Chains A and B, each alone.
Chain A
Amino acid sequence: MSRPLLLVLALLAAAVASLFAALIFGTFPISVPQVLDSFFSPAPGVVHDVVWQLRAPRALAAFACGGLLALSGALLQVLLRNALADPYILGVSSGASFGALLALTLGAGAALVNTAALAGALAAIVIVFGLSFRRSDWNAYRVTLTGVVLSTGLSALISLTLVMAPQGQVKGMLFWLMGDLSYAGDPLAAWLLLAGLTVLGIIQATRLDLLGLGELKAQSLGVAVTPLQLGIFFSAALATVAAVMLGGAVGFVGLLIPHAIRLLGVANHRELLPLAVLLGGAFLTLADTLARTLLAPQQLPVGVLTALLGVPALLALLGRRR
C-alpha cells in the first residue's frame, strides 16, 4: 500500500478515535457501551443528554476548528511562500479578539460579543487585502508584512483593553486570546465550510503545487495566477474566521500541522490538504478533551494544551533521522 494511503487510513482512524474519546471522557463517566447505545438505540436519559447535547457538539466543534486551522495554514504557507505563515498572519485572530474584548469591556452579552468578534475579524481581512492587493502585482511580502503590522497594532490595543478592564473580566478575556472551545456554537456551518474548502483544495491541488514553485513558474505552466491567489486568500481567511468564531485564537495547529504532514513525507497538496485536515481535527479534539478533563472541574485553555502536546511531537519529528 502506498504511503499516503496508509497515512489517510491511520489518520481517519485517529480522527474517529479522537471523537470517540471526546464522548467518553469527562466529569460524568460514560462507558464505551453506553456511547454505542446512545448511537444505535437512543433512549432518553442523562447519558443521552450528556453525549448528544454537551459532548458531541463540542467534539465536533473542536474537530472542525482544528481542521479549518490546519487547512488555512497549509493554504497560506503556499500563498505567502513562507514556512512560518499561520492562519493568524492575516490579522484575523487579533481583529476578532479585539472586537470581542471591546464588546466585553462595554458589558455586552454573548451574542453581541460574537458579532463584534466577527466584525473585527472581517475588518482585519478587508484592511489587509485593501492595503496589500495591487492589480496584476501580488506581492507575498507585502501581504505578510501588512498582516504582521496590523496584528502588532491590534495586539497593543488588546493589551490596552486588558489593562483597562475590570479585574473580574480579565479571565474571561484571556480565554478568548488563548483559545477555548467551551463557548463554541453549532458546528454545522463550520463542518460544511470545512468539507467544501477541502474538496475545493483537492481540485486545485496541482495549481497550489505549481504556485509553490513561484508565480512566474506557475504562470508559465498555464496557471491563471491572480485568480488563484485571490481564491487562496479568501478561502484561508474564511476558514480562519470560522475557526476563530468557534474556539478563539487556538495557536499552534495552523502553523505546525501542515509541517507535521510534510515531515511525514507527503508534500503534494492533493494528499497534504486532506491529511492536514484530519490531523488538525483529531489533534484539536484530543487536546480539547484533555483541556476539560485533566484538571476537572477546572477547564484549561485548549491553546495551552495544543502547544504542550504538539511541540514535543513536532520536535521529535524534526529530529528524526531520515
Chain B
Amino acid sequence: MLHCEGVTLGVPGRVLCRNLTFGIEPGQLWAVLGVNGSGKTTLVHALSGLARCERGTVLLNGRSLESADSRQRAREIGVLLQQEDANFWGSVFEYALLGRFPHAQSWFGWGGEDEEAAFAALAEVGLTEFAGRRYATLSGGERQRARIAQILAQAPRLYLLDEPLQHLDLRHQIAALMLFQRLALERRKAVMMVLHDTLWPGRFCSHALLIHDDGTARAGAAHEVLDRAGLEQLYGCRLREFAQGAGRYFLPDV
C-alpha cells in the first residue's frame, strides 16, 4: 500500500540514504534498523508525508503522498513520533481521544464511536484505569503506552512507529510487540517500526529494512535480510545468534 521509489533522504548538509526502493503491504510487520543518525526518523517522516524526500517519490495506494488531503492521509497513515515536545494538560482519555481527529464528524464535539474507540484503545494497552488521570502525572512508560493508545484510536491502515518500545519495561515491550503483530496478522494492517534492539526483529517481524552508515540500505523478508553477518556489519559489533521456538535472537557477543 505504501511504495518508496528511488527515494533519497537528507537533512541539511548531509545525505542519509540513497535510492531507497521498497513497498509495505497489509499484513506485514517491518523492522527498521540502523545506527544513530542513519536516517531512521527522517525515513518515518518522509513515509508519512511530514518531510519531503530529496529525490524520488512515496506512493500511497499508487498516488503521490503529497497530493493527498492531510486529514484523508491521517486516516490512512498513523505516526508514532519519537518524541513530543509539549505538555498536555488534560486527562489520559482526552489524550487518546485526540487520535480520533481525522475521523471527527462534528465541529462541536466527539461522537459516541470516537469515545468507544478511545476507550478500546486504552484497554488494549492496559490503561483503562488511568483514563481519568491527568496525562502529565503518568510515568515515562505509561505515557508511551498512552501514545500507542492514541494511534490505535486513530485506526490508520498503515502504522509508522518510531521507537515504539522506548521507556517500556520488558513485560510491556512484549505486550506491545504482540499487539503490533496482531495488528498486522489479524487486522491486516501494515506496520513499520524503528527498533534499536536486535533481540526482537527476528522473533516478531516479517520484513526488515537495514540502513547503513554509507547511505545504502537492504530491504526484504526478515529471513533473507536478518542474519548475523549483516547485523554485525550494520552495528559494527560482534553478535551471537540463538534460535529458539518461533524466533531467532541476536545478542551482543561481549
Interface-side segment among A55-63, A143-151, A160-168, A215-223: A215-223
A169 CB-CB contact with B under 8 Å: no
Interface residue count on the A side (C-beta < 8 Å): 22
Chain A residues near B79: list those with CB within 8 A.
220
Cβ distance B80 to chain A, nearest Cβ, rounded Å? 9
User: Which residues of B lie under 8 Å from residue A219 when comparing CB positions?
Assistant: 50, 70
Q: Is B170 an interface residue (CB 8 A)?
A: no
What per-residue 1/0 map shows which CB atoms of B158-182 lie under 8 Å from chain A?
0000000000000000000000000
> When the two chains form the complex, which single residue of B81, B94, B104, B109 contacts A267, counting CB atoms closer than 8 Å?
B94
What chain A residues lie within 8 Å of B90 (beta carbons)? 209, 267-268
* Residues on the A chain within 8 Å of B81, using CB: 214, 216-217, 220
Within the assembled complex, what's the spacing in Å between the Cα atoms of A216 and B50?
7
A210 within 8 Å of B by Cβ? yes
Interface string of A281-311 (1 = CB under 8 A from B): 0000000000000000000000000000000
Candidates B75, B91, B107; contact of A222 at CB < 8 Å: B75
Q: Is A48 an interface residue (CB 8 A)?
A: no
Chain B residues lying within 8 Å of A209, measured Cβ to Cβ, are: 90, 94, 98
Contact partners of B202 in chain A: CB under 8 A = none
**What mask results when residues 89 to 108 of chain B are scored 1 for a CB within 8 Å of chain A, else 0?**
11100100011011010011
Across-interface contacts of B94 in A (CB, < 8 A): 209, 267-268
**Interface of B, helix, strand, loop or mixed by DSSP:** mixed
Q: What's the least CB distance linking A73 to chain B, in Å?
A: 15
Residue of A81, A203, A221, A262 touching B101 (CB-CB under 8 A) = A221
Q: Is the pair B74, A222 in contact by a Cβ cutoff of 8 Å?
A: yes
B74 touches A214 (CB 8 A): no
- Contact status A214-B70, CB under 8 Å: no
Nearest CB on B from A30, distance (A): 40
Q: How large is the interface on B (under 10, 10 to 19, 20 to 34, 35 or more residues)?
A: 20 to 34
Q: Are B86 and A213 interface neighbours, CB within 8 A?
A: yes
User: B107-145 vs A: 1/0 string, CB under 8 Å?
Assistant: 111000000000000000000000000000000000000
Find residues 212-238 in chain A having any chain B CB closer than 8 Å to their own CB. 212-214, 216-217, 219-224
A222 touches B101 (CB 8 A): yes
Q: Per-residue 0/1 for B36-80: is the Cβ within 8 Å of any A Cβ (1 yes, 0 no)?
A: 000000000100101000000000000000000011111100110
Q: How many angstroms between the C-alpha atoms of A243 and B142 in the bound complex?
A: 43
Q: A206-B101, A209-B98, A270-B109 are in contact. Are A220 and B74 (CB under 8 A)?
A: yes
B48 touches A220 (CB 8 A): yes
Which residues does chain A contribute within 8 Å of B72, judged by CB atoms? 222
Chain B neighbourhood of A212, CB < 8 A: 86, 88-89
Q: Could you say which residues of chain B place their CB within 8 Å of the CB of A224?
A: 70
Q: Tell me the minimal C-beta distance from B10 to chain A in angstroms.
A: 17
Given contact pairs A213-B98, A222-B101, A203 touches B86 in the complex (Cβ within 8 A)? no
Complex interface: chain B residues within 8 A of A206 (CB)? 98, 101, 104
A-B contact pairs, 29 of them (CB 8 A): A206-B98, A206-B101, A206-B104, A209-B90, A209-B94, A209-B98, A213-B86, A213-B88, A214-B85, A216-B81, A217-B86, A219-B70, A220-B50, A220-B74, A220-B78, A221-B101, A221-B102, A222-B70, A222-B71, A222-B72, A222-B101, A222-B102, A223-B101, A224-B70, A262-B89, A267-B89, A267-B94, A268-B90, A268-B94
Excluding A203-B107, A214-B86, 18 further A-B contacts by CB distance (< 8 Å) are A203-B108, A206-B98, A206-B104, A207-B101, A209-B90, A212-B86, A213-B84, A217-B81, A217-B86, A219-B50, A221-B98, A221-B154, A222-B74, A222-B102, A224-B70, A267-B89, A268-B94, A270-B109
Closest 6 pairs between A and B when the two form their complex, measured CB to CB: A222-B74, A267-B89, A222-B71, A267-B90, A220-B79, A222-B102
